[in-house]
Structure 1
């Protein structure tokens, strides 16, 4: 479905360098753009896209260095990703309304994209973030400079099924393909520094799970400081990738906020 376009009356939404269309819905009332976590790709949101309530077109960001963008130069920073995505989003039709959702690293990229869109007078109708402390948080480590074994160990720490990551230890060829993009994403997250500015005006909704080793509910509450609009925090059971096991519940929560 990623190659399909989507029509809103006379306007057609086409895939771009950074966007893949996961769900093309005629006469959609809204468009949701999803930002994958570090190491992730646009296809990670296929199940979520299918589970959302009718009336929503869903696009997902495809970072360079993975899937159909394998071999492209990797993004070096959160700012570079947000700049590129914003450039593509600015070209979208102003209707239907645009909402943003991001998990983990994707939450920070979505936030920086929302800031850029707002500065251009195209601010989103809502920003939904998941599994990430608010942007003022500074990562304490430098895993992007660590050996591959340390990167794999951290991926195992975050995974619901560490065995799915352990294959990277047993297959050096696969690790050689996968880890450069992962390392680049770790670099982007660990070198990101929030620059104060005008808060967003749209609602911000923070999703967090009760056993996420990267984000506590209290840290998720910090997103409240980044909007002059309404704020809401939702708690789910599970670890860092809780949404993989709770697609229906997360889709229902997002659909309710998109309305």
Structure 2
């Protein structure tokens, strides 16, 4: 089945631990995300927390080609994903920021991202972040044995388009486990009843990227940073989700707030 790994009980337990730790990093960094802080400082704080406190490995560091140079992704305003933390990028009032964290614990990956609103943001920016979260949750709510990947994509796309937004199509959710990116690919658009049929024991991410303007993008010369072509705002949320016998279990819920 396309190399999809159905996780057994032991593997699921390890994924629960890794995913809880990823969510803990996001809880930890939250109070530091404010005006005047550089994305480089946020990266340094997360790196030390992961390595020194959690004894986890930051999965993005050195990943890919060219190797990603930092331990987290920080995507500000019109950056869709894979923003590289740097000293020059200082958060200011009105910014929106996605922090994407993936940790490795005992060979297993936990992956999650959240949006942060800096200072006084516009109602339009607030609405984009809120609807994007709702898109993710609407997609997750489709998950159960016998449902299809198309059901997830359809639910996300319908809500985004009905809200006046567009869905990025070039990047998607993914299976996850001992591999950072495993099968299947989880598209955030699609048709009901199409695609892979879900089975208990599958674990994958749901991580819609929703643009205020058109869906089109470009990749900057660093070969990582992805931005909206029309410079409109973009938002993203991400959870790692387990397909259970009866539905779904979100593995990256915030341990601090208990919220998805």
**Higher relative contact order (CA closer than 8 Å, sequence separation 6+):** 2
In terms of fraction of residues, the more helix-rich structure is 1
When the two structures are superposed, what TM-score results if normalisation uses the length of structure 1? 0.28
When the two structures are superposed, what TM-score results if normalisation uses the length of structure 2? 0.28
In terms of fraction of residues, the more strand-rich structure is 2
